[in-house]
Structure 1
């Protein structure tokens, strides 16, 4: 590893933990050159700092945090053009640590020791970012945000604001009450992750169950009768395929 200082971002919801990591980075700067790129109290703050301050080489990240936890942060960081290395700091027991090893992310057990931190940073340049699938396995619950890449920036789209998602070619369009966003994700993957939130109404369309305000019969005059979904805040009516109608009808209690 060369002598170019690593730009390190510290993310932890506890002030003493952030201060300790900052001090340890200073202690090991001689053997492992580094620069403190900033400190954040949760994943959302961390992403905002990265957007404002430029590239980061490594993120020291707690796992359990409010607003956005460390695993979801790592998933968003993995979508950056040049994703930083993510090193989790954790109080998990040995069994959980083995899971992080399988996910190909580094980890530091709390309380973090200087020699262990130096060893983790020494491996940063040789480590690949963890696969999204591995991170999803570590935190099988739903994400709170989708990642949207626009003009080199990551926009965080709250999942709760999405009215529907449509598959178009190799991308998925997510529609909110205000606008559309393009996601680089598969519709089937989204359906599996958010099975309780989104309902498939067509082979290429999912709708937010909570946004459905009704259904209407349409197309009877031209002989192509079908049902359409009405969504809150959206003028567009979305057709339900014949194949999906029985499932939709049951899911909506019609």
Structure 2
């Protein structure tokens, strides 16, 4: 009996899927363990639900189903994903190999049953978990240019931090610290990959730090308080909405200087 979770921002679509699942329950035994109307709610509820399969809408406000699928891979037990979309088959070919299956709206009972039977067969194979993880990682790499959130593992949960809220990122040993106006988060990504992915939003100020371009409030001469060069006089970048002043390396100084003219 597969544990299923539905994610769709439209209530009628969730109702229709629930009804169809009830209609095919005898043919495809399952348990509907939850529903969500968006990505943030889904990431809070899915790990607790024990869902093995997520019926996931592609087009949702705030975050697409494609990006959510990439974030779901960070759950301790990532569920399989079946996309639900209004696109036709030709538009779906680009990502078909990265999902267990896909359903085209309006979803038909026979097509849903086919997807569930396929899911049941694949979930029963020992190698499925590793294969699904690899597929979702490939999806994540393809979606990096469209990513609007960082996903953070914290106390057994996956939290979403909007990219637009991040003021700066600083490398700290094996982690990267994300700083927003209200607090900080730790992620296991590299500054190099983030800089390459989001170079239009973040600029490097030092070997161990990136700052959001729109978070640069100015520069001043002072003494670096932390990191490499602590205690030495240097140019510091002032970060808006915080008291942080990050040292600017000599190599990056001309770039930062040009941004504050």
- Residues 1:92 and 2:100 aligned together: no
The superposition leaves residues 43-83 of structure 1 with CA deviations (integer Å, 9 ceiling, x where unpaired) of: 222223225x4321111011111133212211221110101
Which residue does 2:147 correspond to in 1?
142
- C-alpha distance in structure 2 between counterparts of 1:139 and 1:206, whole Å: 17
> What residue number does 2:16 align with?
20
Structure 2 vs 1, CA of residues 131 and 92 (structure 1 numbering), >3 Å: closer, same or farther? Answer: same
Higher mean C-alpha deviation, range 133-142 or range 39-48 = 133-142
The Cα of 1:29 is off from its aligned counterpart by 1.7
* Runs of 5+ consecutive residues of structure 1 not aligned to the other structure: none
Q: Which residue of 1 aligns with 2:237?
A: 229
TM (norm. structure 1) is 0.87
In the alignment, which residue of structure 2 is the partner of 1:168?
172
C-alpha offsets along residues 191-223 of structure 1, whole Å, 9 cap, x if unaligned?
223222211111221111122111012359x99
Q: Which runs of 5+ in 2 are unaligned?
A: 225-229
Look up the SS of the partner of 2:158 in the other structure. Answer: strand
* CA-to-aligned-CA distance 1:108-150 (integer Å, 9 cap, x gap): 122222232223223331541433342442573231x211111
Question: Partners of 1:131 and 1:232 in 2: how far apart?
Answer: 36
1:6 corresponds to which of 2, 17, 20: 2
Which residue of the other structure, out of 159, 163, 166, is the alignment partner of 2:163? 159
CA contact (8 A) 1:99 1:138 kept: no
Aligned-partner Cα distance in 2 for 1:20–1:178: 40
| Cα 1:199/1:12, change in 2 over 3 Å | same
The alpha carbon displacement at 1:173 in A equals 0.9
Q: Which residue of 1 aligns with 2:113?
A: 118
Q: Is the 8 A contact 1:202 1:244 kept in 2?
A: yes
Q: Deviations over 1:164-194 (max 9, x none)?
A: 1112233211112332211122222222232
Paired residue total: 246
Match of 2:75 among 72, 80, 87: 80
SS in 2 for 1:64: coil
Query: Does 2:25 align with 1:29?
Result: yes
Structure richer in helix, relative to its length: 2
Report the CA distance shift for 1:49/1:74 in structure 2 as closer, same or farther (over 3 A).
same
SS in 1 for 2:31: strand
| CA RMSD after TM alignment | 2.4
TM-score, scaled relative to structure 2: 0.84
Q: Which residue of 61, 70, 75 corresponds with 1:66?
A: 61
CA shift, 1:227, in A, is 1.3
